[in-house]
Structure 1
Amino acid sequence: MAQKAGLSIGALADRTGMAVSAIRYYEEQGLIAPWRNAGGQRRFPRADIRRLSFVRIAQQFGFTLPEIRSLLDELPGGRTPTPQDWSRIAARFRVRLDQRIETLQRLRDNLDGCIGCGCLSLPKCALYNPDDRAGDKGSGPRYLMGDKPET
């Protein structure tokens, strides 16, 4: 198939292992941008195989579609991304993955004493939060998310 002709949505589905409905959804979300041929059919650049593969991987790591779109928006439009383009994206992806790994490790290390306890009031507990002082820092389990309790 000539590069200029692009891939049909069915061919893209076959190549990526995704359902056509999923590809349409990702199109609606702005993650891929096909064009229409003279007959009005969607055509996708071959580079969308890689983009959709990246979407699947990023979702498996817990990234939201807006986060994924933000990363993919850095790729060039009108040409196939180069290895340098993907390296730039990978660097940002790595930073976010490292942040998630750090958060997961903090959860692992601090939750084991509290699971099943339910008291949340012991001074040694990482969740200790008298008068909801952590609430001033934002929503969620602030100390487990990295904020330090005031001493």
Structure 2
Amino acid sequence: MPRIEGGKTHVLTVGELSARSGVAPSALHFYERQGLISAERTAGNQRRYRRDTLRRVAFIRVSQRVGVPLARIRLALDSLPSGRTPTKADWARLSRMWRSELDERIAALEHLRDDLTGCIGCGCLSLRTCTLQNPSDTLGATGTGPRRWADVTTS
């Protein structure tokens, strides 16, 4: 049942959450199945989300946009309090937890930005002739695919 204080409802339907967040209801249901957000159920089995779910959905979307895997996002969200709306201090703590990981991602993206044109432009793509990025094709021995950036973007 929605809690009402001062004439304002403190829960959102899936449609309201979707409209406010810009995220499709199907994505919200997926986030719920993945344990990223949670909803209460009405007697008619309809979902009701606390208003602070808007911040969680925004965090999920921004994190996904920069390539953070859902498992890491879930761990971060699990560190936030569940019995109350997260405070500025809670979000600051989460930010400190992610700072070094985000700095590593930024460095990897800068490296990709700076070297991608030269790497793709030379046409070797990890062949023995690339003395700049992969001398003697040492990365070819470690497996297929883009070896240099794979470790950074999949953690």
Q: What SS class does the counterpart of residue 43 from structure 1 fall into? A: strand
Deviation beyond 6 Å, 4+ runs, structure 1: none
CA offset digits 1:113-133 (Å, max 9, x no partner): 332323433473221244657
Structure 1 residue 72 displacement after superposition: 0.8
Question: 2:7 matched to 1:2?
Answer: no
**Residue 49 and residue 140 in structure 1: after superposition, are their counterparts in 2 closer, same or farther (change >3 A)?**
same
Q: What SS class does the counterpart of residue 50 from structure 2 fall into? A: coil
Task: Specify every segment of 5 or more residues in structure 1 that has no aligned partner in the other structure, as ranges.
Answer: 147-151
**Residue 127 and residue 54 in structure 1: after superposition, are their counterparts in 2 closer, same or farther (change >3 A)?**
same
Determine if contact 1:126/1:143 at 8 Å carries over to the other structure.
Answer: no
User: What is the root-mean-square deviation of aligned Cα atoms in Å?
Assistant: 2.7
CA offset digits 1:18-49 (Å, max 9, x no partner): 22111111111111011112332211111101
Q: d(CA) in 2 for partners of 1:20 and 1:143?
A: 37
Instruction: Choose between structure 1 and 2: higher strand proportion.
Output: 2
Question: 2:108 matched to 1:106?
Answer: no
State the TM-score, normalizing by the size of structure 2: 0.76
Q: d(CA) in 2 for partners of 1:46 and 1:117?
A: 52
Determine if contact 1:16/1:52 at 8 Å carries over to the other structure.
Answer: yes
Letter paired with 2:4:
A
Question: 2:132 matched to 1:125?
Answer: yes
Q: d(CA) in 2 for partners of 1:123 and 1:97?
A: 29
State the TM-score, normalizing by the size of structure 1: 0.78
Q: How many residues align?
A: 144
Task: Give the fraction of aligned pairs with identical amino acids, expressed as a percent.
Answer: 45
Instruction: Choose between structure 1 and 2: higher helix proportion.
Output: 2
Letter paired with 1:77:
S
